[in-house]
Amino acid sequence: MKRKIIHLAVGKPKELALPNNKRVMTGIEKKLVKTAQLTMNGFENDAPHNLKYHGGVDRTVCIYPYEHYAKLAEMFGEELQITAFGENLIVTNMLENTVQIGDKFQIGETIIQVTEARNPCSTIEKFNAIPNLYKTIHETGLTGYLCRTITPGEIKETDEIKQIHQESHGVTVAFCHEKVLHKKGTNEDFERILAVEALSERYRDQVEKRIKK
């Protein structure tokens, strides 16, 4: 199973015009690049606007599976724009039901580690101007996921993605979505997620609040 980058993208916050004649500051719009420099704090020339809900050292890279674009295009009857979800890397063969929290991947000079099942943001629907896109992403769990930087360096769009560490706990991104995002988890499920050392602090806080006292 070959994993590879389809698109590499970065972008800083900017004011975007929305279809309802409103304007919003957001970092969701990314521009395709041939190479990008990844630091311990994220990509150079890339940043979120709302630091309360985005960014941080546990979430320096946003990954989105390429396969979802075809599925969503079929569901909505139209092609989505590239980097429709504000992702840095659009990749193949790295779906949410196979990638576990804590898995590590080498890409070019860098090493990254999966830390969080990405929660969908309503800005996605505003940015794409597709009614019910947010609801669909939420319901299907086609959200992508977030990673931290282990080793900084340069990433090229032609780089192959190599898995260098695979967890054995079975806490995949999809598992997190089922138990946390879709609110189907038991205290035992939440404890299983919390036991994953690589879990981001923000997601850990979210899961801890779900535990019934």
- What is the model's pLDDT at position 23? 80
Number of helices (H), then strands (E), belonging to the chain: the values are: 6, 13
Give the model's confidence band at 94: pLDDT under 50 very low, under 70 low, under 90 confident, else very high.
very high
What average pLDDT does this structure show over 36-47?
A: 95
Q: Is the pLDDT of residue 128 over 80?
A: yes
Encoding tokens for residue 127?
């940015």
- What is the model's pLDDT at position 126? 86
Whole-number Å distance between alpha carbons of 112 and 106? 7
Residue 21 is which amino acid?
N
20: number of Cβ within 10 Å: 8
Q: Is the pLDDT of residue 47 over 90?
A: no
Residue with the bigger pLDDT between 202 and 22: it is: 202
- The mean of the pLDDT values for the chain is 93
What average pLDDT does this structure show over 67-81?
A: 96
129: number of Cβ within 10 Å: 11
- What is the model's pLDDT at position 5? 98
- What is the model's pLDDT at position 206? 93
Q: Is the pLDDT of residue 38 over 90?
A: yes
Give the model's confidence band at 68: pLDDT under 50 very low, under 70 low, under 90 confident, else very high.
very high
**Could you tell me what percent of the chain has a pLDDT over 70?**
95
- What is the model's pLDDT at position 132? 95
Pairing of strands 61-65, 89-91: parallel
- What is the model's pLDDT at position 117? 97
Residue with the bigger pLDDT between 31 and 52: it is: 31
Mean pLDDT check: name the lowest of 11-15, 102-106, 131-135, 163-167. Answer: 11-15
Q: Which fold has domain 3-169?
A: M1 Pyruvate Kinase; Domain 3 (2.40.33)
Could you read off the pLDDT of 130-170 as tens digits, one per residue?
999 999 999 999 999 999 999 999 999 999 999 999 999 99
**Could you tell me what percent of the chain has a pLDDT over 90?**
81
